[in-house]
Chains A and B, each alone.
Chain A
Amino acid sequence: MIKIDFHMHTVATPSDAHFEFSLDTLKKYVSSAELDAIAITNHNMFDLEQYKLIKEELDISVYPGIEIDIDNGHILLISDGTNLTDFSVKCKTVTQNNPTETDYINVDTLREIFPILSQYILIPHYDKHPPVPQETIDKLAEHITAGEVQSPKKFMYCKKDGAKLVPVYFSDSRMTTKLRSMPVRQTYLNCGSAGFSSLKNALSDKNKVALSSDETGSLFEVFEDGQKLISGLNVVLGERSSGKSFTLDRISNEFENIRYIKQFSLIERDGKDDERRFNKLLSDKHSLVTREYLGELQSVVNDLVDVDVDVDERSVGDYVESLLKYAKESERHDTFSKAKLFSEEKYSISSQKGLQDLIASTENLIENIEFRGIIEKHVTIDSLKKLIMELMIDYSSRDLDRLKKIWVNELASDVKQKLRTRTASTIVEDVDLYNIALNKSKVRRFESVVEDARKNNVIQRKNIQGFEVVAKAKPFESAGALKKTSKTNKAFSDAFSRYEEPYHFLQELKQIDGIEEADYYKYFVEIEYKILNKDGYEVSGGERSEFNLLQEIKDAQKYDMLLIDEPESSFDNLFLKSEVNQLIKDIAKTMPVVIVTHNSTVGASIKPDYLIYTKKQVSPNGVQYIVYSGFPSSKELTSTDGSSINTLDVTLGCLEAGEVAYNERRSGYENLKN
């Protein structure tokens, strides 16, 4: 097997944070990772002199390459190194085209710079940030066989999926003196040599790529000493203080995008506080249900917020008052106030929304293809076309009428204004009775919407892993509950006193400074979430922790690896065996999972794919943690330095308190049975 890393940086470019290249670090990395071939791939540039130096200093294959910004993604382009001057000139053109970190080229420019792309190995960022768009990959399809991924999980996923590119996993590391630990991200190729064409050929065959040199092809390296894990279920055993959690910490430091469930992290400590936290978590998690339920109410409140019945009443009052006064003065009217236009009513201008909606609906009927058959059973498309024509003619004539009225209103208003300046008579105020009537109707309908929305109503029941999550709409019960919803210190007592009258309640909300208008709808209905256990009762503290664990494991699918430290410290065996084990087994089919345990229910019943045993060794040089690993079926577990330990001894020792205790317990159970 040939081990390669074709993605590393040796020059700080505008796309990198500053770093100093260290040839020593590169040499150490090549030696410790036992690499057979590397490629130097700096962002949008190729440093010929540095490349020559590196090649001279290393006794493995070193290929010249470049990581190019293309269509907002990154692609590696690696040359066989036969014509370095030509490659260097081409790379300079790339540099000129990508002067800053936000620039990128497109496929056409790439082809102009590198006219014979078949000479190179092209590896786009595939399941890795920033990815090359699929459209770009399609355009370059004849030259691309492999794609770079960002985790062992994604590597396995691509490898199994026939439609995906051949996955490769590289370090993408900066070779600097500050490199904390040597990268563990490389790809093994099953090919005869590290020659360019041999590697290129292997990169086009999924059966020839692996994350380790073992026969199963499912192991991958986690530590620089060559320690491996399986891309499945790993169980870490060991006595107390033997470095199990330390090992998990190391793994979590080594990889990105890891979900790490630490020991005791899910257990409840303070009943009330934990319950509050749990309920908050639950509502955040299911906020979509809240948003969906309150969506319509939100639009209604947003619309009604501009309606002010008091202003409407005042305008009616002003109109009546001025009309009566003007009428009383009728004897004293002068030529200006006697003019008809002086007291003329304005035309009421109304929108044509109703008709517009009707036209749109008819259009929808005419254009609908999916239900054409049903529509035509009842009404012909021809008659619909006639209908839409008539509606449109009516619309345009109404629109013309509307425009005329606007014009007349403007003119009349202009004349009125001029007459007003010349007379001492009272001016009759305008009032728009249509809108006032509509607003009254709106308020009535709004109140009925709120009444219905806040009825004690179960809006969703959802079964999650044996628990039932129930979302319920109900009225707020106190000013305090409103305050909690607002997440502020504002006083809601005045508002709450009008809570039963939705319109007045809304007016009170408007008086509270510092709460967002867009959030008013949230104060009308409370959405409460409850989790019920199998028997239909509210969950206990312990059950809440169980629910949390199951949710955490389920959510881990978003991550590239799941680490769990001693789940048995927070949960009982029955729960672990019946609920947790199967879930962990299922998730381990799609990603690497590492569990630390002492517990035989977790450790043995779960049937791990790979065993890791940690042991503390105290020597004059200090404390050392030795890690042994192997398949559960193998008689021995081995460490990376070659020493080994008996698998049965380890399993019995860690999970059953040793063979003697195990036999004693077994005979005890036998006696009870008899």
Chain B
Amino acid sequence: MKILKIENNNGYFCCEEPPNWKEIDQIDKDTLMQLLDIFIEKDVVMDAFDETLIQNQAQQIIYKSVYEKFCALTENKNKFVDESERTYLSAIQKYQSSDGTSE
């Protein structure tokens, strides 16, 4: 799913399907948390930051910062998947296949 794009000299984000693109300077903490959930659950795509393609200086700053944050996360995505899948694994296995008989 695409979460960040640059179009018509503006930066956009999207955390919905079907896509509902909003300008990057409209981002708030709730939408950022939603983007994080999407990032965890799906493969995400983002347009690379290019300051020449965004006219508004404020949007440049915001797009760059958010883009870089998610880039860092993407680099570590495999590690994240490994790490989160290992989290509490022995407990999950133990209680899912408890020796006893479910009643």
Please determine whether A436 and B36 come into contact, CB atoms closer than 8 angstroms. Answer: yes
The reply to whether the CB of A437 lies closer than 8 angstroms to some CB of chain B is: yes
The reply to whether the CB of B29 lies closer than 8 angstroms to some CB of chain A is: yes
Please determine whether A327 and B86 come into contact, CB atoms closer than 8 angstroms. Answer: no
Please determine whether B90 and A296 come into contact, CB atoms closer than 8 angstroms. Answer: yes
Least CB separation from A446: chain B residue: B88
The reply to whether the CB of A428 lies closer than 8 angstroms to some CB of chain B is: yes
Partner among A303, A324, A437 whose Cβ is within 8 Å of the Cβ of B39: A437
Residues from 295 to 347 in A contacting B, C-beta threshold 8 Å: 296-297, 299-300, 303, 313, 316-317, 319-321, 323-324, 326-328, 330-331, 343, 345, 347
Please determine whether A433 and B72 come into contact, CB atoms closer than 8 angstroms. Answer: yes
Residues in B with CB closer than 8 Å to A440 are 36-37, 40
Q: In the complex, what's the smallest C-beta–C-beta distance from A661 to chain B, in angstroms? A: 54
Q: In the complex, what's the smallest C-beta–C-beta distance from A405 to chain B, in angstroms? A: 11
Least CB separation from A441: chain B residue: B84
**What secondary structure prevails in chain A residues at the interface with B?**
helix
Partner among B59, B69, B99, B100 whose Cβ is within 8 Å of the Cβ of A433: B69
Please determine whether B72 and A348 come into contact, CB atoms closer than 8 angstroms. Answer: yes
Please determine whether B100 and A313 come into contact, CB atoms closer than 8 angstroms. Answer: no
Residues in B with CB closer than 8 Å to A387 are none
Residues in B with CB closer than 8 Å to A554 are none
- In angstroms, Cα B103 to Cα A347, docked, is 50
- In angstroms, Cα B37 to Cα A452, docked, is 24
- In angstroms, Cα B94 to Cα A72, docked, is 44
Please determine whether B58 and A330 come into contact, CB atoms closer than 8 angstroms. Answer: yes
- In angstroms, Cα B84 to Cα A434, docked, is 11
Residues from 13 to 64 in B contacting A, C-beta threshold 8 Å: 25, 27-29, 32-33, 36-37, 39-40, 57-62
The reply to whether the CB of A160 lies closer than 8 angstroms to some CB of chain B is: no
Please determine whether B95 and A297 come into contact, CB atoms closer than 8 angstroms. Answer: yes
Please determine whether A320 and B27 come into contact, CB atoms closer than 8 angstroms. Answer: yes
- In angstroms, Cα B78 to Cα A350, docked, is 12
Residues from 83 to 103 in B contacting A, C-beta threshold 8 Å: 83-84, 86-88, 90-92, 94-96, 98-103
Q: In the complex, what's the smallest C-beta–C-beta distance from B68 to chain A, in angstroms? A: 5
The reply to whether the CB of A459 lies closer than 8 angstroms to some CB of chain B is: yes
Q: In the complex, what's the smallest C-beta–C-beta distance from A4 to chain B, in angstroms? A: 57
Q: In the complex, what's the smallest C-beta–C-beta distance from B79 to chain A, in angstroms? A: 6
Partner among A431, A434, A460 whose Cβ is within 8 Å of the Cβ of B100: A460
Partner among B33, B62, B70, B87 whose Cβ is within 8 Å of the Cβ of A313: B33
Partner among A345, A433, A446 whose Cβ is within 8 Å of the Cβ of B36: A433
Q: In the complex, what's the smallest C-beta–C-beta distance from A228 to chain B, in angstroms? A: 51
Residues in B with CB closer than 8 Å to A297 are 91, 95
Please determine whether B61 and A343 come into contact, CB atoms closer than 8 angstroms. Answer: yes
Please determine whether A445 and B87 come into contact, CB atoms closer than 8 angstroms. Answer: yes
Please determine whether B25 and A327 come into contact, CB atoms closer than 8 angstroms. Answer: yes
**A-B pairs under 8 A by CB, number:** 136
Q: A354-B82, A433-B69, A434-B73 are in contact. Are A441 and B40 (CB under 8 A)?
A: yes
- In angstroms, Cα B27 to Cα A431, docked, is 15
How would residues 434 to 449 of chain A score, 1 for a CB under 8 Å from any chain B CB and 0 otherwise? 1011101110011011
The reply to whether the CB of B9 lies closer than 8 angstroms to some CB of chain A is: no
The reply to whether the CB of A141 lies closer than 8 angstroms to some CB of chain B is: no
Interface size on B, residues (CB 8 A): 44
Residues in A with CB closer than 8 Å to B61 are 323, 326-327, 330, 343
Partner among A327, A438, A457 whose Cβ is within 8 Å of the Cβ of B102: A457
Q: Which of B66, B70, B91, B101 has the most CB of A within 10 A?
A: B91
Q: In the complex, what's the smallest C-beta–C-beta distance from A7 to chain B, in angstroms? A: 52
Q: A316-B32, A452-B92 are in contact. Are A437 and B100 (CB under 8 A)?
A: no
Please determine whether A323 and B65 come into contact, CB atoms closer than 8 angstroms. Answer: yes
Residues in A with CB closer than 8 Å to B100 are 457-461, 472-473
**What secondary structure prevails in chain B residues at the interface with A?**
helix
Partner among B66, B91, B102 whose Cβ is within 8 Å of the Cβ of A296: B91
The reply to whether the CB of A455 lies closer than 8 angstroms to some CB of chain B is: yes
Residues in B with CB closer than 8 Å to A458 are 100-101, 103
Please determine whether B25 and A438 come into contact, CB atoms closer than 8 angstroms. Answer: no
- In angstroms, Cα B58 to Cα A326, docked, is 8
Q: A297-B91, A326-B61, A431-B69 are in contact. Are A354 and B79 (CB under 8 A)?
A: yes
The reply to whether the CB of A456 lies closer than 8 angstroms to some CB of chain B is: yes
The reply to whether the CB of A76 lies closer than 8 angstroms to some CB of chain B is: no
Residues in A with CB closer than 8 Å to B90 are 296
Residues in A with CB closer than 8 Å to B57 are 327, 330-331
- In angstroms, Cα B103 to Cα A458, docked, is 8
Least CB separation from A297: chain B residue: B91
- In angstroms, Cα B94 to Cα A459, docked, is 11
Least CB separation from B67: chain A residue: A345
Residues in B with CB closer than 8 Å to A39 are none
Least CB separation from A352: chain B residue: B79
Partner among A438, A445, A456, A460 whose Cβ is within 8 Å of the Cβ of B92: A445
Q: In the complex, what's the smallest C-beta–C-beta distance from B100 to chain A, in angstroms? A: 4
- In angstroms, Cα B70 to Cα A20, docked, is 85
Q: In the complex, what's the smallest C-beta–C-beta distance from B40 to chain A, in angstroms? A: 5
Please determine whether B82 and A348 come into contact, CB atoms closer than 8 angstroms. Answer: no
Least CB separation from B66: chain A residue: A323
Q: In the complex, what's the smallest C-beta–C-beta distance from A262 to chain B, in angstroms? A: 38
A interface with B by C-beta (< 8 Å): 296-297, 299-300, 303, 313, 316-317, 319-321, 323-324, 326-328, 330-331, 343, 345, 347-348, 350, 353-354, 357, 428, 431, 433-434, 436-438, 440-442, 445-446, 448-449, 452-453, 455-461, 472-473
B interface with A by C-beta (< 8 Å): 25, 27-29, 32-33, 36-37, 39-40, 57-62, 65-66, 68-70, 72-73, 76, 79-80, 82-84, 86-88, 90-92, 94-96, 98-103
Name 12 interchain pairs, CB-CB below 8 A, sorted by A: A296-B90, A296-B94, A319-B32, A343-B61, A345-B72, A354-B83, A431-B69, A433-B69, A448-B92, A452-B92, A455-B95, A459-B98
- When A and B form their complex, which 9 residue pairs have the shortest distance between CB atoms, in order from nearest? A452-B95, A327-B58, A458-B100, A296-B91, A317-B29, A441-B84, A327-B61, A330-B57, A453-B95
User: Beyond A319-B29, A353-B83, A456-B102: 17 further Cβ-contacts under 8 Å?
Assistant: A313-B33, A316-B36, A327-B25, A327-B59, A328-B58, A331-B57, A343-B61, A357-B86, A434-B80, A437-B73, A438-B84, A445-B88, A452-B96, A456-B103, A459-B98, A459-B99, A472-B103
